[in-house]
Chain A
Amino acid sequence: MIEVLGLAKRYGGFTAVRELSFTVRPGEVLGLVGPNGAGKTSTLRCLAGIIPPSDGTARIAGHDITADPVAAKRSLAFFADEPRLFDYLTVRQHLAFVARIYGVAHHEAIAEPLLEELEIADKADQLPGELSRGMKQKLAIACGLLHAPQVIFFDEPLTGLDPLGIRRMKDSIRRRATAGAAIVLSSHLLHLLEEVCSHVLILKQGEKIADGTLAEVAARFANGETGVDLEEVFLRATGTSAP
């Protein structure tokens, strides 16, 4: 469960996100879309407790991210657009490290199938420097999912994955949502978002333009037409549609 109320983020005098409010319930997948620089990454980083919000509150699984960050972080996972790894830890050592940080008992029992599923099991003793970008991303994902988070933030999770990887990623996201996780993901790959998201939120220059279920948002910008896809909705909503 994610509840965001009046969130704002300013960098010096520049406002990257303003007055953002939304709710994601367990089982929902919210797609965060917007042009480059709209404030998607800033929003997600605020929600994950990486940077302090300038204003507003966010509750993660019932815990306020600024007032009680430790409890909130225990139930969230954040995946940055660039996978963040430690250069000196092998794949297996990453998992052991993260398991201790999150207090996951018997992590081997969870980690092995996770590595298998992500198809990096045969790289278990390699350093990140020897992995391809996609594999690094998979490792970061394995680390983040180890503690079975109820709230998951993905920043551009699909870029860099191979077609099979994208398919699995989509499946995995859907499965976690079905299992009761609340998920927010930002992406520019709108046709892929359409397949996994139950809701969308369109940001432009830090402001929310529209949000709701896919159907609701589509209806708002459809102008009575039927079968308007998310791409068209996006272009109309952000005002960049060709005349």
Chain B
Amino acid sequence: MFSALLYLKLTSFRNWLRQRLRRLRRPKYLMGAVVGAAYFWFFLFRQFYGGPGGRTPLAGMPPISTEGRTMVAGLGALALVTWVTLFGWLLPGDKPGLGFSEAEVAFFFPAPVTRRWLIHYKLLSAQPRILFGALFFTYFSNRWSFLGGGAGIHAAGWWLILATLNLHMIGAGFVVARLTDQGVDRRRRRWGLLGAIALVVVAAGLAEWHGLHAPGAGDLASLATIAHYLAPLLTQGPLGWVLWPARLMVGPFLAPDAAGFLRALGPALLLLAVHYVWVLRAETPFEEASLAQAEKRGARIAAVRSGGLAALRAPTKGRRDPFRLAPGGGRPELAFWWKNLLSTRPYFNLRVFGGLAAFIVLGCHWLGRQPDFQEALPAIAMMAAGFAGYVLLFGPSFARQDLRGDLGQVDLMKTYPLPGWQIVLGEMLTPVSILTGVLWLTLLAGAMAFPDGYAGFTPGVRAVVVVAVAVVIPPLCLLQLLVPNAATLVFPSWAPGPRPRGAGGIDMMGQRLIFVIGQLLVVGLAMLPAGLVALGIVVGIGLLLGPIPAVVLATGAVLLILAAELWLGLKWLGRRFEQLDVSADLQA
């Protein structure tokens, strides 16, 4: 019975691997893979593990006390319970299925196999993922030497946690489906669950009332005192009971040595077995739900191919036009902007932007007149600067309603009578406008909160500088977005596509990091000439004519240089788009 499963999984894996390897025959993919692997080797593994097989203990961490261990177990249990409650019970829709793919539904559901076989199939096919996850986590946790316990204990412990978690999520799905069948729809389920949580919290509060006190300075003095404060909270009373099964789950992982591991193993295995029996015994029909789910997943995969990650929430209702696309002639780029705005969240609109701007202005104004909050404004200015940096760094990875989202429609777009650069430019306008909006609001907050007269900024100079920065932001965003879009056109097969849940992991993360670094490099290089010229003008003209004309002139120069660079970049990307061979590059 399982030979079929084994055959399916092995051949699928082999073909997947073969396809990947075949792709590496093309030099650009080979180069990318080498760079990616080197990156991982040098930056991630070595940094975390001090070389191959090495193990750098966290510096200066003494072995953990028994009380500390109890606290860690309690915190881990709390995290697990929260996670399970959220994703297993609270958030799922009405009919969670077993997560079969469309092909699996088509082949297995009409096949002469039992329900039990299907469940076993699903459990076994989750094993590679669980094993990989256990190894992956072990890599990280191996460094927590203060826990004691070797790599073997960690790996086995992680495996137990992940396997039990997997079973629990399936069982929860069954129960939720059955509840739905019995008329408890998602709203009632959620309210009921929230009520139960509130009850536990209240009960815990009442039960611990006398012993409960807000943590004082003495409690937070050191790890030992924190543990002393937290450990009883997490292990006694109603909260302790709720967390008890989860504490059993993390027990083997937290064992300091082999003997402790064996002692913790029994209860954990028992928990696993109980879960297994629970899932197997659940008489919930999952076939119909799985069918609907598979269809939805298929639709979602298609949607992700065409609409970016935002499409993970499959659209159900058409939206109003973001702005009026006047009939007749007009820049075709605007049509792409209009189209991609439709694929974003509805709150990316001018009304929300205006409301936030008004809120920022009024809020900062109010804060400025409160004597009690004198510290607040400089803090806000600092935070705004930090946030702007974050948006500049990672914004392009989040706002991806551009070529990255439309990769699945490239063949359609290639029939459009437009030169490539126009399509590329039009496609990038939506993320540019979103990032610009966010950055403008941040700039507004920073400017409003900027202390008067600080560093010689008179109100006049401040206003001019703010306007200058505001004007430079859109071309800067465009420049940044050139990088991920270029990567998409050069490595289309690597574009983050839809992945079954949990299969993302390390390569995704690596790619993101590589993109961010590449983006930094490119933008840094591109900004270098503009920055030098601006600096020269500000210093030179500033001495002659004063700061305001200097800033104005420098902004003009920066804009000119950026425009030239953007023009070159767009031309190049446009040619890449025209030359993109969808038949060769968009396979799988």
Contact = CB atoms under 8 A, between A and B. Distances in A.
Contacts, number: 111
Interface string B327-345: 1111010110011001100
Contact of A50 (B303, B329, B414, B579): B414
Interface string B396-420: 0000000000000101101111110
A87 interface: yes
12 contacts: A11-B583, A12-B584, A73-B416, A87-B307, A87-B315, A93-B318, A93-B342, A96-B325, A104-B327, A105-B329, A106-B327, A129-B299
A103 interface: yes
Interface in B572-588: 578-579, 581-584
A185 to B, nearest CB: 16
A48 interface: yes
Contacts of B307: 86-88
- Identify the 3 closest CB pairs spanning chains A and B, nearest first: A90-B318, A100-B335, A73-B417
A106 B328 contact: yes
A88 B330 contact: no
B501 interface: no
A129 B314 contact: yes
A73 B414 CA distance: 9
Contacts of A96: 321, 325, 327, 338
Contacts of A51: 581-583
B318 A127 contact: yes
A94 to B, nearest CB: 9
Interface residues of A, number: 42
Interface stretch (A22-30, A74-82, A203-211): A74-82
B303 A87 contact: yes
B20 to A, nearest CB: 16
A84 interface: yes
A100 B318 contact: no
A107 B315 contact: no
B243 interface: no
Contacts of A108: 327
B415 A126 contact: no
A78 B267 CA distance: 64
Contacts of B314: 87, 129
Interface string A83-120: 01011111001001101111111111000000000000
B516 interface: no
Nearest to A126: B318
B583 A45 contact: yes
A69 interface: yes
Nearest to B330: A100
Nearest to A41: B583
Contacts of A101: 332, 335, 416-418
A110 B131 CA distance: 59
Contacts of A76: 415
A105 B325 CA distance: 12
B306 interface: yes
Given A73-B416, A89-B339, A103-B329, 11 more contacts: A50-B411, A52-B581, A70-B419, A73-B415, A76-B415, A80-B411, A87-B315, A96-B338, A100-B325, A106-B328, A127-B317
A56 interface: no
A48 B583 contact: no
Contacts of B415: 48-50, 73, 76-78
A144 B329 CA distance: 18
Nearest to A111: B327
A188 to B, nearest CB: 21
A235 interface: no
Nearest to A102: B417
A69 B578 contact: yes
B306 A87 contact: yes
